[in-house]
Amino acid sequence: MKQDNQISTNFNVLGIDVGGTFTDLIYVDKENNIIEFTKVPTSPKNQAFGVMDAIRKADLKLDQVKLIVHGTTTTTNALLERKLSKTGLITTKGFKDVIELGRRTRPNSYGMHGKFVPIISRDLRFEVSERVDAKGNVITPLNEIEVKKNAEKLLELGCESIVIHFLHSYANNNHELRAFEIISESWPNNYITMGHSLLSENREYERGVTAAINASVQPILEKYLRKLENELSISNYKNELLVMNGNGGTISSKMVVNEAAKTVMSGPASGVIAAAHTGQSTGINNIITYDMGGTSTDVALIIGNQPSVSSDLEVEYGMPVHVPMVDVRTVGAGGGSIAKLNLAGLLEVGPESAGSFPGPICYGNGGTIPTISDANLLLGRLNISKIISDKNKVSIVDIKKIFLKKLSKSLHLDEIKTAEAVIKIANTKMAGAIRMVSISLGVDPRDFTLFAFGGAGPLHASALAKELGIPKVLVPARPGITNALGCVVADLRQDFTNTLNTPIDKVNILDLHSLFEEQEKKGVELIKKQGLKLTRISSNFSLDMQFIGQTHILRIYLPNSYPDLDYLQKSFEKSYLNRFKVKLSEIKANIVNVNTTIQGHKAPFDISLLNNKLDKRLDLDDALLEYRNVYFKDKFLNTPIYSRDRMPFEFQMKGPAIIEQMDTTTLIEPDDKLYGDYLGNMFIEVGDFS
């Protein structure tokens, strides 16, 4: 593609991330030294309306914006709420129940009851005669007449999308390709997903469910994007719209629908990318990200500035999405998470959320159910005058009455102790999520820095760090818009996986090198096709390996695309030893999957731009707003409240303190130390761990 036709990404970038409660926006115009950011409630009817509301609130002229990068929860919400397009499945005879049978697991570990609803119901799963073995040999030819008739039946049943999922298509995809040709002749749209095209690896259950997810969200994502593109066009935006993928990279909105499943978890992924970028700027390489928003909390691991990426994630039970995604674990604990008593009379927090409307009681929009935000308000940690709208005033007394009626009486606690209990339970849930991405994987959280962001993250970060023994917390300059920042800094990315499933001593090394070369060539072509001006294109290669006879798979990262077999065996043995503390040098390794990641790198973003509006010649006394009683460790303390926008960059202070800013509130406990760096980040050195 000619250089003069490419869109520059060096400046004039607008990042927009849609969360469950708020839609965040950040606009960077480096050439004119302009930065804008804002938050608006997420539109419950159509996310596009919330996006446009954010643009209008920021008073942006879209004809001057060169690039928009968008993180969306459209597909994630559709999956979790099961508001999916009607989808049919055509598969190998005898295997239509594969996506329902799964792996002999259960929704609940204990008890006799559980609920599981497959993505595609059984009446919409049809079989055809065809069979290919695991080596790619054709056992039974494809019955093309059955393919045509079944596709017609699915259309008559009202299916909007269709999945073609044949056994062992990763080894020989000819039958799926031919079925695609036949179905395309009569299918009224492009919502046809072939299992091998999205996931060319073995394990028919995971491949089938991933393909089913892709097909069932394609129409939803396309309708949303076309609506958003139309709204942007009306507002004179003429340039490219990029969409965040769950792997932490971006892709053109014109290409994303074909692989819609890859947008699942794109919102949380963008925050992790921003955390890695910020960590690199500050010289901190090992980070646990902690993103507490209004609806949920997302945590992830970053080692050596590289976010952990996995292809083995489940969005929920029975819903594996086996495409590369940033390994984010989610729990239902956000500022709007509801506190209630269960049937046993015990206090529970989440996963249900009050959402953006009516939201917590303290929002003043008619909410009547206690939430985490309301608990923080009762403890003096939030400023009620900055939360409640002018239209609907709610007092502390009103919130206390609701806590007393719904929780405190049954718990035999006063309202303050009840609020404290709500916070402790929420913190326990969030600490559990952090353990899932660290201790459960053999990583010691004490060796990491906790990166706290989201609208509510900095309020709870110090308590979580103490719970987990993490010595330091990093609070970035704009915690509440970190996900939107991730959209700005994210690079283009394409991931490819092909199953080899061959013992290492039987691998033809030249064939392996050729497969890497083929994957790299395809990825570079797709990156260049998007027409963005990039600083460079990089390629990363890896193998999923296991010992013969085992099921556990470990990913081995390679320095180049032409390794020798001895290197692969030794690298896997070393990785296995590090992970499981067992040395098995006498057993040969098996290469399961061949992976290549291609990234198109945009011009680097200068974190200091986030503060270019601020006058940092001030000192801490200039930033002091007031003193307020805040509850710490069984008592209220008279606590200084500071405005972060008026604080100097490099400062030092001791807790207790509260730091307020437009997008979040940071809580500094009495035994904590707080200091700032020259980029506008804050660091909490956590105090007493007892």
Angle of CA points 544, 546, 551, to nearest 5°: 110
pLDDT at 568: 94
Q: Is the distance from CB of 457 to CB of 244 less than 8 angstroms?
A: no
Element holding 292 (H helix, E strand): strand 287-292
Q: What is the 3-state secondary structure (H, E, C) of 458-488?
A: HHHHHHHHHHHCCCEEEECCCHHHHHHHHHH
Q: Residue 616: pLDDT band by 50, 70, 90 thresholds?
A: low
The Cα 263–Cα 364 span in angstroms is: 34
Give, rounded to a whole angstrom, the gap between the first and last alpha carbons of the chain: 60
Q: Residue 690: pLDDT band by 50, 70, 90 thresholds?
A: low
pLDDT at 84: 93
Of 513, 331, 543, the closest CA to residue 431 belongs to 331
Coil, strand or helix: which one is 138?
strand
pLDDT at 195 over 60: yes
Q: How far is CA 380 from the centre of its chain?
A: 31
Q: Is the distance from CB of 15 to CB of 51 less than 8 angstroms?
A: no
Q: What is the mean pLDDT of residues 417-444?
A: 91
Q: What is the mean pLDDT of residues 396-402?
A: 91
pLDDT at 596: 95
Q: Is the distance from CB of 73 to CB of 44 less than 8 angstroms?
A: no
pLDDT at 7: 47
pLDDT at 168 over 50: yes
Q: Which of the listed ranges 200-214, 327-341, 342-356, 463-477 does the model predict with the highest average pLDDT?
A: 463-477
Q: What is the mean pLDDT of residues 92-112?
A: 85
Q: Number of C-alpha atoms within 13 angstroms, CB side, residue 357? A: 9
pLDDT at 1: 30
Of 283, 272, 292, 664, the closest CA to residue 472 belongs to 283
Angle of CA points 301, 302, 307, to nearest 5°: 95
pLDDT at 392: 64
Strands laid side by side in the 250-252 sheet: 34-41, 22-29, 13-18, 67-71, 240-244, 250-252, 492-503, 589-601, 536-547, 554-558
pLDDT, tens digit (0-9, with 9 covering 90-100), for 508-553: 999 999 999 999 999 999 999 887 888 999 999 999 999 988 878 8
pLDDT at 32: 67
Q: How far is CA 21 from the centre of its chain?
A: 15
pLDDT, tens digit (0-9, with 9 covering 90-100), for 433-464: 999 888 887 789 999 999 999 889 999 999 99
Q: What is the mean pLDDT of residues 304-331?
A: 84
Q: Residue 3: pLDDT band by 50, 70, 90 thresholds?
A: very low
pLDDT at 317 over 90: no
pLDDT at 615: 62
pLDDT at 37: 86
- Tokens matching residue 605: 């973003």
pLDDT at 70: 93
pLDDT, tens digit (0-9, with 9 covering 90-100), for 22-52: 889 999 887 767 788 888 888 877 888 889 9
Cβ of 343: how many Cβ atoms within 10 Å? 5
pLDDT at 553: 86
User: Which residues make Cβ contacts (< 8 Å) with residue 508, sequence separation at least 6?
Assistant: none
pLDDT at 388 over 80: no
Q: What is the mean pLDDT of residues 133-147?
A: 95
Q: Residue 358: pLDDT band by 50, 70, 90 thresholds?
A: confident
Sign of CA dihedral 529, 534, 537, 540: negative
Quote the pTM value.
Answer: 0.87
Sign of CA dihedral 469, 475, 479, 484: negative
pLDDT at 662: 86
Q: Residue 8: pLDDT band by 50, 70, 90 thresholds?
A: very low
pLDDT at 149 over 90: yes
Q: Is the distance from CB of 54 to CB of 23 less than 8 angstroms?
A: yes
Amino acid at 157: L
pLDDT, tens digit (0-9, with 9 covering 90-100), for 652-682: 999 899 999 988 999 999 999 999 998 889 9
Q: Which residue has the tokens 């990093």?
A: 474
pLDDT, tens digit (0-9, with 9 covering 90-100), for 261-316: 999 888 889 999 999 999 999 999 999 999 998 888 899 999 998 898 888 778 77
pLDDT at 611: 78
Sign of CA dihedral 472, 478, 482, 485: negative
Q: Is the distance from CB of 656 to CB of 639 less than 8 angstroms?
A: yes
DSSP 295-326: S-EEEEEEETTEE-EES-EESSTT-EE-S-EE
Q: What is the mean pLDDT of residues 577-584?
A: 85
The Cα 610–Cα 605 span in angstroms is: 10
pLDDT at 88 over 90: yes
Q: What is the mean pLDDT of residues 188-216?
A: 92
pLDDT at 143: 97
DSSP 504-535: GGG--HHHHHHHHHHHHHHHHHHHHHT-B--S
pLDDT at 389: 55
Q: What is the mean pLDDT of residues 216-242?
A: 93
Q: What is the mean pLDDT of residues 201-224?
A: 93
pLDDT, tens digit (0-9, with 9 covering 90-100), for 461-502: 999 999 999 999 999 999 988 999 999 999 999 999 888 889
pLDDT, averaged across the chain: 89
pLDDT at 391: 60
Q: Number of C-alpha atoms within 13 angstroms, CB side, residue 601? A: 9
The Cα 266–Cα 273 span in angstroms is: 11
pLDDT, tens digit (0-9, with 9 covering 90-100), for 404-416: 999 999 999 999 9
pLDDT at 199: 82
Q: What is the mean pLDDT of residues 394-419?
A: 92
DSSP 578-621: HHHS---TTS-EEEEEEEEEEEEEPPPP-GGGGGTT--TT--HH
Look at 374 and 316; give whichever has higher pLDDT: 374
Coil, strand or helix: which one is 446?
helix
Coil, strand or helix: which one is 278?
helix
